[in-house]
Amino acid sequence: MAVNITGVQGTLKAMRKFDPDLAKQMNTQIRGAMMPIRDKARAFAPGNSEMLSGWVTPSSSSETIKYRAFPKYDQSETRAGIVYRQGANNKGEVAGAKFTRRWQVAYFVANNSPGGAIFETSGRVHPNGRASSHIVASRHKLAKDKKYSVSSGTRRDMNSLNPNAGKQFLAPLGELYGSRGSIDPRFGNTDQRGRLIYRAWAEDQGRAAHAVNLAINVAVAQFNATNTASAYGLAA
C-alpha cells in the first residue's frame, strides 16, 4: 500500500535541498508510521505447511523457487520480500499490484516476492477458482459477399486435468481483506483486497496514512515559515 502525496512535491524537493535535517526528521516520523504496516503484513504470511504441498519450496532445493514457471511460495522469502520504501516510484507496481495508470508515490510498503504476491491477491477475480475452459465467439468476414459469420468454440484456460484445481488452490489461502472497490474504465481495477499488506492496511483503518500526512504537513509548514517562495520557488 502507498501514501500518495500531491500538491507539495516542489516544497519537499526544496526541503531536501535546503534543509536536509528537517527532511530527515520528517522521513524518520513517516518510517515510524509505515513500519508497523510492514511488520504486521509479514506476520500474516502463513507457514509452508499450511499451503498446498505442490506450491511450496522443496526443502531439498532452496533455489528451485527462482526457476519455476509458476512461482513457488515460501514463508521466509515472502516475509523478506515485504519491504518499506521511500522515494518516488513511477513503475505503477505497489504491494504486488499493477495499476492501469502509472502514479507516483512517495512512501509505500511493497510485496517483492512473486509467490507472496500470488498469495496476496489470488481469488480477487475468480473467488472459486478459474474454470478450466470457457465459450468464446469470433466474427469472420466472408470474402465473396462481404458479410460476416459468427462461430463459437471452447477455449481451454489451463491444462490441469482437475476441474477443481483453482478452487483447491485457493482454499488454504483464506479470505481477502480490504475494500473490493470496482472496475471503472476511467481508473482501472480499484480492488484493494489482499491477505498480507492489504489486510494490514485495512486493519490499520487509516491511522498510518493520517500519521504520514500529518508529518508532512508539519514539516512543510515549518519549512515554509523559515523560507520564502521567492528565494526557492516553493510550492503553494
pLDDT tens per residue across span 25-58:
999 999 999 999 999 999 999 999 999 888 887 6
Q: Report the interhelical angle of 207-226 vs 20-43 (nearest 10°).
A: 180
d(CA 216, CA 142) in angstroms, rounded, equals 63
Q: How confident is the model at residue 116 (pLDDT cuts 50, 70, 90)?
A: very high
User: Residue 157: pLDDT above 60?
Assistant: no
* DSSP-assigned letter for residue 193: E
d(CA 53, CA 187) in angstroms, rounded, equals 38
Q: How confident is the model at residue 107 (pLDDT cuts 50, 70, 90)?
A: confident
Instruction: Check residue 99 and give its pLDDT.
Output: 35
Average model confidence (pLDDT) across the chain: 77
- Strands, DSSP E only, in 13-161? 82-89, 93-94, 97-98, 105-111, 133-141, 148-156
Give the pTM.
Answer: 0.73
Q: How confident is the model at residue 232 (pLDDT cuts 50, 70, 90)?
A: very low
The structural domains of the chain, with segments of one domain joined by +, span: 2-124+176-232
**What phi and psi values does residue 59 have, to the nearest 5 degrees?**
-65, -20
Instruction: Check residue 86 and give its pLDDT.
Output: 85
Residue 55 Cα distances to 49, 131, 170, 206, angstroms: 10, 19, 11, 34
Residue 34 Cα distances to 1, 97, 195, angstroms: 10, 18, 17
- Read off the amino acid at residue 133: S
